[in-house]
Amino acid sequence: MIKIRRAAIDDLKSVQHLNDLLFKHDGQFDETVCTGWTYGDSGENYFRSMIENEFVWVAENEADVIGYLAGSYKNKELYSNETYAELNDMYVLEEFRKQGAGKLLFDKFNSECKRKGIKAIRVTASAKNSGAINFYKKNGFDEFDIILRKRIK
């Protein structure tokens, strides 16, 4: 049975490991994704701060951490006065996908945002990552911004 709980500092290494897997996975959609930073001082400091000050939850199957979600508060939307949250990172081990862990993590984040009076959640996904885009659309996200990029050769 999958359980969701708030991450503790003891989960730091598990969250870093899952983030490293996330960035390696996302690298297949975007060659500019910087892998390997997760285990350095900046990665450790980033996730330590996220666990202590922002939203970080882990999904467990029995005693094993199988996924995580990290999100943060933002001040105001660019064109409105609404506060919003950013779903920074989310990853579930491949063998546990489509078993509800991602949905449970997102539902926890969504509930916490609602409880805190946050009016919107943003998430960024690579345009080529159809699995992530479909997941977010199934969970109520609509296309909002489109970022275009041109490589200079």
CATH of the domain at 16: 3.40.630.30
DSSP tag of 75: S
Dump pLDDT digits (tens) for 2-22. Answer: 999 999 999 999 999 999 998
Rounded Cα–Cα distance for residues 25 and 15 (Å): 15
Q: Using an 8 Å Cβ cutoff, are 89 and 46 in contact?
A: no
Is the pLDDT score of 33 beyond 70?
Answer: no
The tally of domains found in the chain comes to: 1
Distance from C-alpha of 94 to C-alpha of 83, rounded to nearest angstrom: 33
- Report pLDDT digits (tens) over 115-125: 988 888 999 99
Domain with 103 in it = 2-138
Query: d(Cα 12, Cα 62) in Å, to the nearest integer?
Result: 18
Q: Specify if 146 maps to a domain.
A: no
